[in-house]
Amino acid sequence: MAWNARLVAIASLAFAALAGWEAARLPAWSQFDGPGPGLLPQILAALIAVAAIGVLVAPGTGEPEGGNASPLRSRGFLGYAGAMVGVGLALPYLGFGVTGFLATLLVLRVAEGAGWGLALFWSFTLVIAVTLVFGTALGVPFPPGPVERLLAPLGLVRLG
C-alpha cells in the first residue's frame, strides 16, 4: 500500500503544481473588497501539496485493497480496463449498441475466458436488455450510432 499511496501523493503534487499555475492566472482579490475567483484555488493548490507531502512521509502500511499482485499482470483487470477505456472513447461515435456489444465481448473473451458462444450470446442479450429498459421504456436519449439510427425511426430509441 505504501507504494501506491506514494504514487498518489506524487501525482497529487503534480496536480497541485498545475492547479496552482492555472489558478495564478485568476485574480486573487476582487475589486469589491473580497476574495476573487483565484484565491481559494490558490490556497487549495498549496494545501494539496502540503497534504501530499504528509502522505509521502506517512504512506501507511499493509496490503493494498485487492491484493499485492500488480493489476497490470491480471488478465481480468486488463480486459475490463480495456473495455472501460474503449467505451469512454467510442460511445458517442459508435453509439451504445455497437460499443456495448464490443465491450461486453472483449470482457467475456479476454477477462473471463468465456467461449465464443457464451460471449456472443451474453453480449447480444445484455445490449438488447439495457437498450429496451433505458431507451424504450424510460425514454433516455441514446448516442447516435449506427444501431441507434436504425432503431430510431421505429420509435424504439430517442437520439440525443
Partner 1 sequence: MNRRQAILASGATILAAPAVRAQGAAWPDREITILVAYGAGGSTDVCTRALAGEAEKILGVPVQIVNRTGGQGTSAPAQVATMRPDGHTLATAGMAALAILPHVLDLPYTLDSFTFLPGYARYLYGIAVPAESPIRTAQDLIAQGRQRRVTFAAAGAPQNVGMFELNKKLNTRFGFVPFPGGAEAVTAAIGRHVDFVAQNPPEMLPALKSGRLRLIASASDVRWKEYPDVQTLREQGVDLAVDSVLGLVGPKGIPQDRLERLNSALLQAARSTGVGETVSRFGMVPAPVPSADFEAMQRRAFAEFGPHLRENGLARR
Partner 2 sequence: MMEGLLHGFAVLMTVQNVTLCILGAVLGTLVGVLPGLGPATTIALLLPISLKLDPTGAIILLAGIYYGVAYGGTITSVLMRIPGEASSVVTCIDGHAMAKRGRAGAALGIAAIGSFIAGTFGILGVMLLSPPLAEIVIAFGPWEYAALMLAGLSLIAFFAASGIAKAALMAFLGLFLGLVGLDPISGTPRFTFGVPALVDGVNIAPLALGLFGLSELLFLALSKDAKPEILRPPSTMLGFMPNREEWKRSAAPIARGSVLGFFVGLLPGGGAVLASFLSYAVEKRLTRHPDEFGKGAIEGVAGPESANNSGTAGAFIPLLTLGIPANAVTALLLGALLVHGVQPGPMILERQPELYWGVIASMYFGNFILLVLNLPFVGLFVRALEVPRRYMATAILLICAIGTWSVGLNHFDVLMAVVFGFVGFALRRGGFDLGPLVLAYVLGPTLERSLRQALLIADGDVTEVVNHPIALGFLAAAALILLSGMVMRRRPAVVQDGGS
Using CB under 8 A, which residues numbered 43 to 62 contact partner 2? 44-45, 47-48, 51-52, 54-55, 57-62
CA 9 to chain centre: 20
Which 82-111 residues touch partner 2, going by CB under 8 A? 83-85, 87-89, 91-92, 96, 99-100, 103-104, 107-108, 111
Q: Using an 8 Å Cβ cutoff, are 60 and 5 in contact?
A: yes
140 counts as binding partner 2 under rule CB under 8 A = yes
137 counts as binding partner 1 under rule CB under 8 A = no
Label the pairing between strands 141-142 and 29-30.
unpaired
30 counts as binding partner 1 under rule CB under 8 A = yes
Alpha helices in the chain (DSSP H): 2-23, 39-57, 75-106, 116-130, 146-151
Residue 155 binds which one of partner 2, partner 1, none, with CB within 5 to 8 A depending on kind? partner 1
Which 44-103 residues touch partner 1, going by CB under 8 A? none
Question: For residues 23 and 37, what is the distance between their CA atoms, to the nearest angstrom?
Answer: 9
Residue 45 binds which one of partner 2, partner 1, none, with CB within 5 to 8 A depending on kind? partner 2
Question: For residues 7 and 27, what is the distance between their CA atoms, to the nearest angstrom?
Answer: 32
